[in-house]
Chains A and B, each alone.
Chain A
Amino acid sequence: MGERAVLDAASTPLHPVARETLLAALDAGWADPRRLYAEGRAARRLLDQATEVIAAGLAARPSEVSFAPSGPAAVSLAVDGALHSGRRRGGRLVASAVEHSAVLAPGRYRAAAAGDDDLLAEVPVDHAGRVDLDAFGAALSEPGTVVAAVQHANGEVGTLQPLGAVHEACRAAGVPLVVDAQASLGRTASPTDYDVLAGDAQSWGGPGGLGVLAVPERTRWSLPGPAGEPGYGRSGHVPWVPLALAAAEAWQQTQATFEAEASQARALVDAIRSAAAGVPDVEVVGDPQLRLPHVVTFSALYVDGEALVHEFDRRGFAIASGSACTASTLEPSHVLAAMGVLTHGNVRITLPLAAVSPGRAQHVERFCAALPEVVSTVRAQLGAEHL
């Protein structure tokens, strides 16, 4: 059967060089960077270096970059700070219907708790998952709108959002734009159209447990509650220094191979797209061109998503799915549902970086070869081969 083919990069092993850095940092950067003795000062210097690397990657100043306990936490904080700063003008959040649950779940909760549906507007998307710009503009013009949240790219289907036009509409309406770049940082050019940016070190081969925030000085943004640690950016979150160092190392490594990595991933994803499109009653979803290079999603009619994941697993492939019953819930992926595409029989592939998974080209080749038989096997289990 050969080695395991991990085709899900939501959480992957660290970039191998970042792993070395992490191990070294366990000895060199363990101290609390707030301490005044030599070890603490050394940790602080290392953290400052890591922050500078990440800031440069986001075209931000180091003072504008801060950290969070995870990518989703960074996204939630990004929205919270913008809402808090706008509280005197209102409390309405405008978000695309395919935003991460770190945006939508708290937004729905706030609206329900206040008994005011208007506190969250979920703007529809087209079949490719791209936000409807007319509806977005109209939603922004509603009174009391103080924040907009639109992702750079969707982590489930890969579609890039038209952030230039989105940001222009936001500027015209005087509403700050929070951009969730959890799926894209390090995989495609960093976004520049934002007022607050949030990301996850895992997207560029860094460690789990580290979210990043970029809040330009021009943006009115402050968190509710007691102030965070002074001197640690606008979130005030003091990260564990070895994590920040590993994230910065992974960023530098990823940047060094960026072009080759992206074009190789794009070719592999194209191979998967055409293999999937060749299986009867399979629909590849997401924008075919304006997308992340390493993400591809498709859905197979008359196929149970859970059975599909298990059948691939049995054959040596680790794949994710947006179908109901694959994530301990009866609800299917809200992204697929908002796009109006099939939610059952869903396969979601996010390619790990080549540096993390050197065998990925062979894995993809094996996957494409196995796909038709896996789909027909799982269809036959439900007696749905000839529909």
Chain B
Amino acid sequence: MSPESPEPTEPPDQPEPPVVDARGLRCPLPVIRLAQAAKDLPAGALVEVWATDPAARADVPAWCRMRGHELVATTELDQGTDGAHTAYRVRLGG
């Protein structure tokens, strides 16, 4: 989004959500790292976990459902130096 476009719900200087880098970790570690990060964040906050483990594809959505969080985006990334991974963006529930 461009800086001058109106954004009614979020302030224009909304920072990128914190990222939990769980690339290379195998299940259940990506979900555990995500839960550890979520513990210190307020309800409504966004958090993102990066994972390469195929089990995260099922387990991050399942964790959200079991714990009352919302999975807002799943993005496949293939950045040169970072390598292929998946980014799961989660909005924390109350």
Contact = CB atoms under 8 A, between A and B. Distances in A.
B54 interface: yes
Contacts of A304: 27-28
- Contact-size category for B: 20 to 34
A151 interface: no
B60 to A, nearest CB: 10
A344 B26 CA distance: 10
Interface in B3-49: 26-29, 31-32, 35-36, 39
A340 B58 contact: yes
Contact of A343 (B36, B58, B65): B58
Given A342-B62, A342-B66, A343-B62, A332 B54 contact: yes
Contacts of B62: 283, 299, 340-343
Interface stretch (A129-137, A173-181, A323-331): A323-331
B58 A332 contact: yes
A204 interface: no
B27 A323 contact: yes
Contact of A330 (B28, B53, B66): B53
Given A341-B62, A343-B58, A302 B35 contact: yes
Given A283-B66, A301-B63, A343-B59, A331 B28 contact: no
Tell me what chain A mostly uses at the interface: helix, strand, loop, or mixed.
Answer: loop
A343 B32 contact: no
A384 B29 CA distance: 10
Interface in A330-387: 330-332, 336-337, 340-345, 382-384, 387
A217 interface: no
A341 B58 contact: yes
A344 B59 contact: yes
Nearest to A281: B66
A68 interface: no
A341 B60 CA distance: 10
B68 to A, nearest CB: 12
Contacts of B26: 324-325, 330
A270 B36 CA distance: 33
A303 interface: yes
Interface in A164-216: none
Given A301-B66, A302-B32, A384-B32, A342 B54 contact: no
B58 A336 contact: yes
Interface residues of A, number: 26
A324 B54 contact: yes
Interface in B65-82: 65-66
Given A340-B61, A342-B63, A387-B39, A331 B31 contact: no
B27 A324 contact: yes
B32 to A, nearest CB: 5
B55 interface: yes
Nearest to B30: A344
A304 B28 CA distance: 6
B52 to A, nearest CB: 10
Nearest to A330: B54
A324 to B, nearest CB: 5
A281 B67 CA distance: 9
A303 B31 CA distance: 10
A299 B39 CA distance: 21
A337 B57 contact: yes
Contacts of B31: 301-302, 344
Contacts of A330: 26, 53-55
A187 B80 CA distance: 53
A324 B31 CA distance: 14
A342 B59 contact: yes
Contacts of A382: 28-29, 32
A344 B55 contact: yes
Contacts of B29: 382
B66 A345 contact: no
A280 B58 CA distance: 20
B27 A343 contact: yes
18 contacts: A301-B63, A302-B32, A304-B28, A323-B55, A324-B53, A324-B54, A331-B54, A332-B54, A332-B58, A336-B58, A337-B57, A337-B58, A340-B62, A342-B58, A342-B62, A342-B63, A343-B59, A344-B27
For the complex of A and B, the 3 pairs showing the least CB-CB separation, nearest first, are A344-B28, A342-B62, A337-B58
